[in-house]
Copies of this chain bind each other. A is one copy, B any other.
């Protein structure tokens, strides 16, 4: 068989992202496969490869959507707080909430590895840089006297800490309810670190 034209390229792409989203609501990253996705989308694996280049490209497209979601949530969280320190807390809690509520989507972002030899696409790196820049923006208001390299250090320390806490939370390595105690850890990290830093 050949050329159906039930959907345009863009429609198949959109349809795929929706179906993967649905799967990730209940199933883990490791139970995902190109063939399984192709089946629920209603096209063959080869068609999805034709559209996304390869399986890695498909997952990357899912992750781009996730990062866009995270970015939008971050923007509204920032707008809802006046104080720069509170903005920073809000940012970290958006990150934790996303990790806890969309655990499999969140894990996919960091579980994904480029195939040997391929570079991370610039549009993907841009999305990550954008998230970092929001953090940096808060620190710029909190400590305007600091140099940009000092701020860069603090940004990375805070991101690493929050990310590590989210890893513990999503992997249920936190005794009590993951989200609640995750929030506590984040509060402790940010308050204590910044209290001394500036």
| Residue positions of A touching B, CB distance < 8 A | 30-31, 113, 116, 153-154, 156-157, 159-165, 167-168, 174, 184-185, 188-189, 191-197
In the complex, what distance in Å separates the CA atom of A184 from the CA atom of B192? 18
- Cross-chain pairs A/B with CB under 8 angstroms, 22 sampled: A30-B113, A153-B184, A153-B185, A154-B188, A156-B165, A157-B185, A157-B188, A157-B189, A157-B192, A159-B164, A160-B161, A160-B165, A160-B167, A160-B168, A161-B164, A163-B164, A188-B197, A191-B196, A192-B192, A192-B197, A193-B193, A193-B196
B-chain residues with CB within 8 Å of residue A165 when the two chains form the complex: 156-157, 160
How far apart are the CA atoms of A161 and B158 in the complex, in Å? 8
For the complex, give the distance between the alpha carbons of A194 and B162 in Å: 17
Closest-by-CB residue of B relative to A29 is B113
A33, chain B: closest CB distance, angstroms? 14
| Residues of B contacting A154 in the complex (Cβ-Cβ under 8 angstroms) | 188
Contacts of A191 in B (CB 8 A): 196
Contacts of A30 in B (CB 8 A): 113
Do residues B164 and A185 form an inter-chain contact, with CB atoms below 8 A?
A: no
Q: Report the minimum CB–CB distance from A6 to chain B (whole Å).
A: 34
A163 touches B167 (CB 8 A): yes
A168 and chain B: residue at smallest CB distance: B160
Cβ contacts under 8 Å, A196 to chain B: 191-193, 195-196
A188 touching B153 by the CB < 8 A rule? yes
**A116 CB contacts on chain B under 8 angstroms:** 31
